[in-house]
Every structure is written in C-alpha cells, then in structure tokens.
Amino acid sequence: MAPLFWSLILILGFSAHQVKQSQDIPDVFTSAEKAALASSPKINGRIKVYQATSERFRANLAAAIAKNDYPSLPATLQDWAQVLKISLKDIDQSITNRKKRSGALKNYEIRLRKSISDVQAYAKSSVPVDVIDQFEAWLTQAEDVHQKLVDILFPK
C-alpha cells in the first residue's frame, strides 16, 4: 500500500509542477506552445517550440505588412522580441555541454538569421517611417540574441 501511495504523490506532484510551469509561461505563447514548453523536459524539444513560435511571429509580420496593417506591427515586434529573450535565457541556462552542438539549436540560429534578414528587408522597403524605430529596436535585440546563440554554439 505504501509504494502505491508514494507513487501517487510523485505523479500528482509532477503534474502540479507542469501546470505551474505552464502558468508561468508568458502570454506571447499560444496555449499549445505553452503546453509543449511545459511538457518538454529536454532543451532540444523546447528549442523546437521556440523556433516554431518565432516562425509564427515572422509569418504574422509578413501577413500584416502584406495587408498594410501597420498599427499591429509594433506589438508583434515587441512580443517576438520577448520570445527571443525567453528562449535565449532558457537555452543559456539549459545547455551545459557547450562542446556538443545541438542540432535544434543550429536550426534555430539559422532560422533567426534568416528572420533578421527578412525584417531588415521589410524595414528598408515596405513599412512606413513611423514604425521604423520599432523595427530597428527589434533588429538590435534579435542581433544580440543571435550573437549569443552563435557564442553558445561556437564557444571560444
């Protein structure tokens, strides 16, 4: 009877921990992304979620520009920057073996580099002058995150 009791306590405690983690995740993530982050014990799984979230924001930005929905751009850029900061913090804390290069992290770095290039192109050609400052702020933050990801991938 005692082993069953302790097993139940462990299961309930683990489930409560996952729910707490999911509640602690900011609202810039969808509920599916929150659930995936909370249920991914390994960093590679979480990196894939961060990459998918970043791709979602890139697509939202492109769609808003295509529809000339310029008022939505600053909020999208701010939320995307928050995702990048959160992902960098998690990656930096979770990757302990800097000599072993994570395939998921390599892909995330490549996608972020491509997104930076896309946003630079949007800023130069497609957006009104009044939102250029938000694009430049995002680019500064994204380039900082990108450089730190490169430093994690290729330690000196």
Rounded to whole angstroms, the Cα distance separating 102 from 65 reads 33
φ and ψ at residue 28, rounded to 5 degrees? -70, -15
Rounded to whole angstroms, the Cα distance separating 67 from 95 reads 40
Which of 51, 63, 55 is closest to 122 using CA atoms?
Answer: 63
**Letter for the amino acid at 120?**
Q
When the pLDDT of each residue in the chain is averaged and rounded to a whole number, the result is 86
- Annotated domain spans of the chain: 43-153
What's the predicted TM-score (pTM) here? 0.82
Written as six digits, the tokens of 10 are 């462990």
pLDDT interval class at 14 (50, 70, 90): very low
